């Protein structure tokens, strides 16, 4: 359908555009905007949309498209869009637009919206407060089922979710929660007190958004009340926002684990220089660290000059050490972020990794021994390399679990100790172990 | 609260256990079971739970705890649990339990449950069909709002979600969808036809679960209808199941990108030998591939013997190449899995990576040149190493975007071309480039 609209726009068949758009999901209409190159056509399409659809579509757009649109519509149109936005989308918009656009948005906002937005903008960026909206339905303890349905009918149209309604006392303290389902299924004469759940799971406005996401998952929730330090309800978080948070956090984890500083925007929209800046820091740190491994080797120049063949095993040893370590650290970091492993499991985890490492190391060593022996007919070299391999794998897998857990213990991000950093460390280890064994077993040949 | 219950159980304060449990979320009660070591206490706690809570708690338990519990309860208790389970949880249970437990479950299932389960088990493991449940509310076109509320009141208690109701014709074809909210907010005399949305977003039973998850995200949905090839409604998928799918897929991506075969269970519950098997394959493949890099080096034994210092730059060159490539491949793979990059963006992406690579390579080369020049006072060696660095970074970042996109083009999993494989390839490249420049610039010294 997206393609149909694009084609109709191209062919100036505007009536058909209007009809097609009416049948489409808002997200798909937003996609049309994303794919429109031409600002003029974007404005035209926006004017073709029925008013109520227009605002919904707007909330599904990428920040870039929103900015483009705001810069082309009239103040009156802008006010209409803003009026229809849910508060959390409103706050997001203000946060994401550049200063001049924000100015125009605030100029066209109602005084009470402006006040609310200012209040919401004060919550830290990654906190529950920054995710919440104030569009919820609240009821009193003594409200009857029939009255509740009346309240919902009267005020529910503007609310982001009416599946859960919150029971508050006169000072806005959260006393309980009732689902729309409970209300529908209850006897019409019941009061909220009879059907509400009092053990409400809620979060504080300052709670970290990652923790909020974990609670949504653990309790299979669709929306969560947010309270201040006095347990007064200040807003709710709905699952659609949490889902976005989780995707962002996962992307951030992937980036960190590849030695990239997290970026805000999508890849194609980020300028080359910004991408460069996000990558160079770790490359530089790791390059300098890798020089240590190199410096280690200069101490064995004599051995290398006497037996240059030795050097040819180094890429394999370094590579295998790095890969073994990455396997462990990735597993451990992911398990910790899913709370499947706690710091108290340290020894269990480490002992498990050691046993896996011995198995892996032994299997790899056998293949290596056979290959070197058949190629060079030198059992001592074959044994030296194979032994190095086993020890390297054990060290790499040990570090792969120890370092991320240590980082967490020190309240650092475990992802710091992911593949890139770990590989650099295991590289140095494998070279050291290799030349140590070379000196022991091949010392007389050098 | 979890700790409170554990302590009360320890001190045999069963009345207090009963009271505390009543105030807790099912997920937290399930956590108590997870932390109970002793089978006998687990059975005891389960018997202390009020019946309706017991079944809900059961559905939140880990498979391991479910199995333990099933093996301790009586047939009558088992039947009660099974009766209360939603169909999708029921199917999951049958899929996850070992054969002897499944036998006992099926023996205690009603004939119609058995029939439904058999039908659901036939959907492929990763398909929409395997995620769905049949507990939804359906209405007719001509049902009035008041009748609809009646239907929901009469049948809604057993349904997994009543937030959306589906409008079907007499042959079960999906005609529209109405939200409970629409019904509550509509005029009581309206019929469903007036308020239903006809452009319903649905998936086919065979749709891949990853695609289903993407649709949930794109359209901010809480539940999705699943239809067969004739557009007949066969079930619905709710977001709680999708969220689990996404977490599993992300874990799988992390594993693949670290060269680990995906595993089913959590880390601590997986036996050492299973973990060994999931890791050894890639380690072996990569080790054998890394031998190629080594073999390349043996062709330059002469140069190495003459100037052993050269070898000391290899860890740094290999490491930086590997890290540069991983940054690119991780970014590209993640962006592709979020649909932010399409195959048609190939040249844009590659050109972007080349420019980033030149910037990164240049910055690293400058630092490197300075360090080598000041340490060894040899401009030619410093230049050789620095030039290698730039070329290596450009090659690594190019391969880091080309290989994953090529894999996708060939309908292979892009994650195949993640860090471990890529690092092995770039290792060989960096060594080759290095010795090529050595021959060109230092040939006369060797």
Q: Rounded mean pLDDT of B414-441?
A: 88
Cα–Cα distance measured from residue A158 to residue A132, given in angstroms and rounded to the nearest whole number: 15
Instruction: Identify the closest residue of chain A to B56 by CA–CA distance.
Output: A219
CATH architecture of A267-445: Orthogonal Bundle (1.10)
Higher pLDDT, B363 or B103: B363
The shortest CB-CB distance from A268 to any of B27, B309, B348 is to B348
DSSP string, A182-238: HHHHS-TT-BHHHH-BSS---EETTSBHHHHHHHHHHTT-SEEEEE-TT-BEEEEEE
What is the pLDDT confidence band of residue B358, given thresholds at 50, 70 and 90? very high
Contact, A415 vs A257, CB < 8 A? yes
Pick the CATH number of A137-238 from 3.10.580.10, 1.10.3720.10, 1.20.1050.10, 3.20.20.100: 3.10.580.10
Q: Do A327 and B259 touch (CB under 8 A)?
A: yes
* Residue carrying structure tokens 């890429």: A315
Encoding tokens for residue B429? 């490249």
Report which DSSP code applies to B343.
Answer: G
Q: Do A431 and B315 touch (CB under 8 A)?
A: yes
- Cβ count near B143 (within 10 Å): 22
Q: Do A276 and B349 touch (CB under 8 A)?
A: no
pLDDT at B445 over 80: no
What is the pLDDT confidence band of residue B156, given thresholds at 50, 70 and 90? low
Cβ-defined contacts of A35-39 (< 8 Å, 24+): A35/A2, A35/A6, A36/A6, A36/A9, A39/A68, A39/A72
Check residue A380 and give its pLDDT: 92
Contact, A397 vs A325, CB < 8 A? yes
Instruction: Identify the closest residue of chain A to B24 by CA–CA distance.
Output: A199
pLDDT digits (tens, 9 = 90+) for A387-414: 999 999 999 999 999 999 999 999 888 8
Check residue A63 and give its pLDDT: 83
> What Rg do the C-alpha atoms of chain B give, in angstroms?
30
Q: Do B199 and A420 touch (CB under 8 A)?
A: no
Q: Do A294 and B301 touch (CB under 8 A)?
A: no
Q: Do A199 and B23 touch (CB under 8 A)?
A: yes
Q: Angle B13-B17-B19 (CA atoms, 0-180°, nearest 5)?
A: 120
> What Rg do the C-alpha atoms of chain A give, in angstroms?
30
pLDDT digits (tens, 9 = 90+) for A324-334: 999 999 999 98
The shortest CB-CB distance from A340 to any of B220, B268, B304 is to B268
Question: Where do the H-state alpha helices sit in A299-378?
Answer: 301-306, 314-337, 346-376
pLDDT digits (tens, 9 = 90+) for A93-134: 888 888 888 888 888 888 888 888 888 888 887 889 888 888
Q: Please determine, looking at this structure, whether the domain spanning B2-122 carries the CATH number 3.40.50.620.
A: no
* Predicted TM-score of the model (pTM): 0.77
Equal fold, A137-238 vs A267-445: no
What is the pLDDT confidence band of residue A242, given thresholds at 50, 70 and 90? confident
pLDDT at A157 over 70: no
Q: Do A348 and B268 touch (CB under 8 A)?
A: yes
pLDDT digits (tens, 9 = 90+) for B101-121: 888 888 888 888 888 888 888
pLDDT at A347 over 90: yes
Check residue B391 and give its pLDDT: 96
Per-domain boundaries in chain A: 2-122, 137-238, 267-445
What is the pLDDT confidence band of residue A382, given thresholds at 50, 70 and 90? very high
Q: Do B287 and A217 touch (CB under 8 A)?
A: no
Q: List CB contacts (< 8 A) between A340 and chain B.
A: 266-268
Tell me how close the Cα of A77 comes to any Cα of chain B, in angstroms.
Answer: 25
Q: Do B258 and A314 touch (CB under 8 A)?
A: no
The shortest CB-CB distance from A283 to any of B283, B309, B320 is to B320
Among A323, A339, A340, A367, most B C-beta atoms within 10 A, so best to mutate, is A323
Q: Which of A212, A231, A36, A225 is CA-nearest to residue A127?
A: A212
ipTM for the assembly: 0.77
Q: List CB contacts (< 8 A) between B239 and chain A.
A: 222, 239
Encoding tokens for residue B170? 């007499």
Average pLDDT along chain B: 87
């Amino acid at each position: 359908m997206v393609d149909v609209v694009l084609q109709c726009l191209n062919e100036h068949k505007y009536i058909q555009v209007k009809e097609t758009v009416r049948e489409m999901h808002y997200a798909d209409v937003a996609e049309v905007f994303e794919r429109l190159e031409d600002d003029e056509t974007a404005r035209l399409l926006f004017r073709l949309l029925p008013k109520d659809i227009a605002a919904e579509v707007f909330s599904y757009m990428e920040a870039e498209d929103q900015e483009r649109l705001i810069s082309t519509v009239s103040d009156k149109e802008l006010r209409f869009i803003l009026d229809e936005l849910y508060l959390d989308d409103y706050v997001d918009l203000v946060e994401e637009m550049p200063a001049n656009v924000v100015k125009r948005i605030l100029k066209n906002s109602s005084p009470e919206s402006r006040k609310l937005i200012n209040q919401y903008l004060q919550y830290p960026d990654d906190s529950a407060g920054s995710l919440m909206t104030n569009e919820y339905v609240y009821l009193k303890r003594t409200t009857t089922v029939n009255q509740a349905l009346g309240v919902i009918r009267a005020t529910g149209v503007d609310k982001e979710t009416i599946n859960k309604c919150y029971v508050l006392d006169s000072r806005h303290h959260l006393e309980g929660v009732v689902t729309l389902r409970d209300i529908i299924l209850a006897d019409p004469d019941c009061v909220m007190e009879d059907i509400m759940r009092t053990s409400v799971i809620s979060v504080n406005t300052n709670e970290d958004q990652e923790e909020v996401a974990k609670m949504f998952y653990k309790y299979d929730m669709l929306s969560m009340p947010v309270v201040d330090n006095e347990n007064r309800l200040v807003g709710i978080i709905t699952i659609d926002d949490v889902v976005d948070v989780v995707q962002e956090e996962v992307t951030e984890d992937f980036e960190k684990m590849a030695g990239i500083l997290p970026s805000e925007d999508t890849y194609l929209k980020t300028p080359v220089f910004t991408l460069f800046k996000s990558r160079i820091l770790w490359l530089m740190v790791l390059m300098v660290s890798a020089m240590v491994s190199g410096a280690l080797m200069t101490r064995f120049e004599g051995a290398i000059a006497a037996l240059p063949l030795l050097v040819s095993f180094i890429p394999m040893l370094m590579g295998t050490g790095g890969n073994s370590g990455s396997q462990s650290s990735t597993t451990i970091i992911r398990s910790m972020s899913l709370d499947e492993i706690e710091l108290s499991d340290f020894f269990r985890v480490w002992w498990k990794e050691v046993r896996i490492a011995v198995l892996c190391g032994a299997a790899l060593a056998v293949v290596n021994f056979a290959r070197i022996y058949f190629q060079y007919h030198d059992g001592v070299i074959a044994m030296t390399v194979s032994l190095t391999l086993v020890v390297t794998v054990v060290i790499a897998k040990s570090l792969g679990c120890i370092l991320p857990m240590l980082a967490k213990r020190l309240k650092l991000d475990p992802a710091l100790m992911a593949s890139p950093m770990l590989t650099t460390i295991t590289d140095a280890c494998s070279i050291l172990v290799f030349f140590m064994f070379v000196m022991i077993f091949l010392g007389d040949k050098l």
